[in-house]
Amino acid sequence: MNPFPASDLIVGTVFLICVATTVAGALLAVLTGRIVRSVCGLALCCIGIAGLYYFLHSPFLALMEILVYIGAVCVTIVFAVMLAEPDEPAPDETRGAAILWSGVALLAGAAICWGLSRLGLQGKWPVPVAQVADSSVKSIGISLLTTYSMAFELISLVLFVAILGALATARTGRSK
């Protein structure tokens, strides 16, 4: 017997709030006109996804999602918005063309969403016999430094080269 019967209700409500945050953030990110609001939508979407990761028994990933996406990616995009153009320019296409392209994009998105949802919901996913490992931070760390150590090192190399490349690319034409 559950000693605290309202806990199911609370957990389910928190999950629904996470789902709503993800969906609302994603819609805000692509539908608003101003780029700053779009970045805020991306941050909101990432908060929701971090909550979903928590419900998937991956608290470390939830932490990294907030740290990397909101703390690094969104802040970097805000810096770029301040250095470049703050606003989405006014549309230069005719009204008919805008409606046509919106319709095409909406149709493509709806088809992808419907098809993938149908595939995911109707697929016969295999049920594992037993889970061989738990998903704690300790086992993530162990597998990062044993099974995936090569990929781990290569990621650090990729980040190093990317930072050097970003510096070299953004530096050219500075004297103009």
Name which of residues 32 to 61 contact other proteins (CB under 8 A).
35, 38-39, 41-42, 45-46, 49, 52-53, 55-58, 60-61
Tokens of 119: 């595939």
Rule CB under 8 A: which of 121-150 touch other proteins? Answer: 121, 125-135, 139-140, 143-144, 148
Answer for which of 17, 97, 100, 162 binds other proteins (CB under 8 A) is: 162
Q: Which residues contact 50 (CB under 8 A, 6 or more apart)?
A: 61, 62, 63, 65, 66
Report the C-alpha gap between 77 and 40 in whole angstroms.
10
Q: Which residues contact 77 (CB under 8 A, 6 or more apart)?
A: 39, 42
Rule CB under 8 A: which of 51-110 touch other proteins? Answer: 52-53, 55-58, 60-61, 64-65, 68-69, 72-73, 76-77, 79-81, 83-85, 88-89, 91, 101-102, 104-106, 108-110
Report the C-alpha gap between 65 and 72 in whole angstroms.
10
Least distance CB 94 / other proteins (angstroms): 14
153 binds other proteins (CB under 8 A): no
Report the C-alpha gap between 55 and 13 in whole angstroms.
12
